A and B are shown apart, each in its own frame.
Chain A
Amino acid sequence: MAVTVENTRERYQPSLRQWSKFFRNNTSIILIYVIILVVIGAAAILNENFRTPSNMLNILRQSIIIGLIAIGQSVVVLTGGIDFSVAQVARIVGLTVATIFAAQGSNPALILPLILLGLFIGALLGGFNGLIITRTHANPFIITFGIASILRGVNLAISTTPIRGIPDPYLRIYDFKIGIVPANVLVMIIMWVAAYVFTTRTRTGRALYAVGGSERVARLSAIRYNRTLVTAYIFSSFCAAIAGLFLLARTGVGDPSAAEGMDFQSVVAVALGGISLYGGRGSILGTLGGVLLLAALSNVFNLLQVNIYYQQLFLGLIVLITVAVYKSPRSA
């Protein structure tokens, strides 16, 4: 009887109930955006260099590359895994493309093939990660860390000094504008929207959550566990490869220290955004918030000339705090 009453009320006051539901179900996402507004608001009041439009655009631009990596990381973390090889994947893609450009006398005709090659390398490495993890059932942290270590060695073998000889048209990719919209911002927006649709509105997306929630239940519910996991790692490495190609265009040289620290930063962004590090819960929209918050904070730190070491310390603290706040689903 009480049930019927509730249903009727729902029908007559849709907006109010739905809003309260929205707030209850999305607490962590709302929280992160409120924090961003607070940080930006405080910084804008305190520092006049911060509130210039060009600085704001700067924050957005700073969040492009880490954002791409964090999109991939989100998908992996949703499955209950973690991908610690993303920074090295981005780096090896950049270095490989740069090396070939240098060897072929900066031939602009190679731009498209090399972009495709870079994306292929990314997908291939992700496939490796995924296959090893599904075959061995080992902890993804150990596996991807091992792969990262191998890639780090390969990267050092490729070059220890910056590689020059990237053709001019490639360098212009990064600052290319369509009208007044920078192409890189456009790519970022497309990637975020695509990731949102992928995680919320596709079968594989739903499978990510299922696999992260419970492997056994997922398997028994007609979800292809191995395929889902391998797809997640391929997607993650693919995103890292796009990031590596953008980084190459931005720095203009094949940089043997490219993307340093972005593996950890991407995990921080994901955790900040409320995706459970135990898998199965959270939203890509939260990760976007996490990325923007990190970019805003790093911008503020730079304006205030905070030592880079303290910034590191701060990142570590954030991870510990967010993990403590969200806890394990079982201990809650």
Chain B
Amino acid sequence: MAALKESNNSGKIILSLKNINKSFGGIRALSEVSFDLRQGEIHALVGENGAGKSTLIKIVTGAYTADTGTIVFNGTIYDSLHPGQARDLGIAAVYQEFNLLPELSVAENISLGEQPLGRGGLLDLKARSARAYELLEQLGAQAHIDPNELVKYLTVGEQQIVEIAKALAINARVLIMDEPSAVLPSRDLDRLFAVIRTLRDKGHGIIYISHRLNEIFELAERVTVLKDGQTMATKVVSNTNNAELVSLMVGRPLTDMYPPKDNTPGKVLLAVQDLCVEGTVFNISFEVKTGEVVGMAGLGGSGRTTLCRALVGLGSIRSGKVLFLGKPAPKLPSKAAYAGMVLVPEDRKAYGLILNQSMRFNLALPNLSKFIHMGVLSSSAEKEAIQKTIADTQIKPPTPEISTENLSGGNQQKVVVGKWLLANPKLVIFDEPTRGIDVGAKAEIYLRIRELTRQGVGIIMASSELPELIGMSDRILVFHEGRLAGEVERRDFSEETIMLLATGTAVEEIQSQ
């Protein structure tokens, strides 16, 4: 293995970006960025949201043209690439949102660009399936993905592999993976990593973008850190560590991400008794006290998100009771929000923000009754409250009228959190509060959560990131296939205990202890 890595490191440079500059209307997105990728190398690219990763990738795939700088591909110098050219050279990207047609089969999707034709100009279906099988075989995935299956029946992880096979179908030599792990349940991660390693060993160059630093240590040979559009450093992974990367990314050493607990939980706020949600969640009972953070762990499909949504009235509760402050909880989302039970949803674009509206509009939305004077909205009261919230939550830029679709992911999340801070909720349910947002924004969100608990707000925090659950929670409820597999107290917190419960392998063992 070591020998293999050695030979990879001396592989020849396939793609090299030199002194790339790019501005958008006076705002500099990239400044003198240089980056290179060897054959048979996995080169990780990290940085906070807005650091310039996406811009750099778009310059490589030809979606953007650099202002100045050169791209050297396989020894040929280009001032810029256009998308078709990049594809012909063999540069392909796999984004978080897949470009697959769900109603078509795996084979059809893979050969969408170039359908093999047989006699008489008709599609050669056999050749198409064979080609798909061959590509899946190259990825070591022929055993569990049937080329003739419709894509909509595949899991997210399988779809991602089809997406990679599609890139291979156009002979991609450079593969860019934009946060591939963010959309995957953790059990599919190993398979993805195996596929990526296979590609590396075959001599493909891979640019791997991720917010999860431990993946980078597991997978990559080198890592480049971007900050504010500049290259901070390119490091050989074995010569660096987590703390160094984080301090390069945020520009300051991040001593403790998780602010310490500084209050004790009070009386019972929410009591869930024997709750069943249509087909996916069964017999759940638990309590949340005021000022308490209850973590919810579990693998993808374990019912966490379904439960979170059911609590605020999204989804149909089949049986069981939800008591909020001793009374049955409201069954409609609008009434739940009005009563002070709010959800900061997993998918902020679909459930958290009205994207085509301004930050002011979104922040004010659940708080309108506060700004009413004699039946009419008072814009001065609104403006004052909004400005205070923006300052409190450190949203950037602090421009109330900016459209929320133009904010970065981390700042969008701050808007969703900010609108509820303003509403003085009693119970806030965070579902994946830090998905896809950068380290700096994460720390801000954790501070806000602590602030809420200090005011006696109860918190439910469902997350697939164990470190943040362990860092923030008083107790962690672990879910497995729609059932509560166990509850872990703070003194017993460890990733191992939680994972054992979450995978359902060791329930009896732990109970017998």
Which residues does A use to contact B, with CB under 8 Å?
Answer: 3, 6-7, 21, 25, 197, 200-203, 205-207, 209-210, 213-214, 216-225, 280-281, 329
Contacts and interface: CB of A to CB of B under 8 A. Distances in A.
B337 A221 contact: yes
For the residues of B in contact with A, the DSSP-based class is mixed
B312 interface: yes
A213 B397 contact: no
Contact of B377 (A206, A218, A221): A206
A191 B39 CA distance: 70
Given A21-B401, A213-B356, A224 B377 contact: no
A216 B398 CA distance: 26
A203 B377 contact: yes
23 contacts: A197-B376, A200-B377, A201-B376, A202-B377, A205-B377, A206-B364, A206-B368, A209-B354, A209-B361, A210-B354, A210-B361, A213-B354, A214-B353, A214-B354, A216-B350, A217-B354, A217-B365, A218-B354, A220-B343, A222-B334, A223-B334, A223-B365, A281-B357
B265 interface: no
A94 B376 CA distance: 33
Given A210-B365, A225-B334, A201 B377 contact: yes
Interface residues of B, number: 35
Contacts of B375: 202
Given A3-B396, A329-B355, 11 more contacts: A3-B398, A210-B354, A213-B354, A213-B355, A217-B351, A217-B352, A218-B354, A220-B337, A222-B338, A280-B354, A281-B357
Nearest to B399: A6
Nearest to A228: B334
Interface string B367-403: 0110010011101000000000000000011100100
Contacts of A7: 398
Contacts of A3: 396-398
B419 interface: yes
Contacts of A225: 334
A220 B353 CA distance: 10
B354 to A, nearest CB: 3
Contacts of B300: none
A273 B356 CA distance: 18
Contacts of B83: none
Contacts of A220: 312, 314, 333-334, 337, 342-343, 345, 351-352
B69 interface: no
Given A219-B333, A220-B312, A220-B333, A203 B356 contact: no
Contact of A25 (B338, B350, B379, B401): B401
Q: In terms of DSSP, what is the predominant structure of the interface of chain A?
A: helix
B384 to A, nearest CB: 15
Nearest to B419: A221
- Closest A-B pairs by Cβ, 6 of them: A213-B354, A222-B337, A219-B333, A221-B366, A221-B365, A222-B366
Nearest to A216: B351
Contacts of B312: 220
Nearest to A205: B377
A197, A209, A217: residue with the most chain B Cβ atoms closer than 10 Å = A217
A217 B415 CA distance: 13
Contact of B369 (A203, A216, A329): A203
Nearest to B340: A222
A197 B361 CA distance: 16
A329 B368 contact: no
B344 to A, nearest CB: 9
Nearest to B357: A213
Contacts of B398: 3, 7
B356 A219 contact: no
Contacts of A221: 334, 337, 365-366, 419
Contacts of A214: 350, 353-355
Q: Which of A7, A210, A222, A280 has the most CB of B within 10 A?
A: A222
Contacts of A280: 354, 356-357
B357 A209 contact: yes
B366 A202 contact: no
A225 B205 CA distance: 50
B411 to A, nearest CB: 13
Nearest to A329: B356
Contacts of B343: 220
B334 A206 contact: no
A39 B372 CA distance: 41
A329 B368 CA distance: 25
A21 B400 CA distance: 12
Interface string B241-263: 00000000000000000000000
A1 to B, nearest CB: 12
A202 B352 contact: no
Contacts of A216: 350-351
A203 B334 CA distance: 14
B353 A217 contact: yes
Nearest to B354: A213
B334 A219 contact: yes
A210 B337 CA distance: 15
A213 B350 CA distance: 11
A225 B333 CA distance: 10
A205 B365 CA distance: 11
Contacts of B342: 220
A72 B351 CA distance: 29
B396 A206 contact: no
Contacts of A207: 368
A21 B402 CA distance: 11
A22 to B, nearest CB: 11
Contacts of A218: 354, 365
A228 to B, nearest CB: 10
Nearest to B398: A3
A250 B366 CA distance: 45
Contacts of B376: 197, 201-202
Contacts of A210: 354, 357, 361, 365
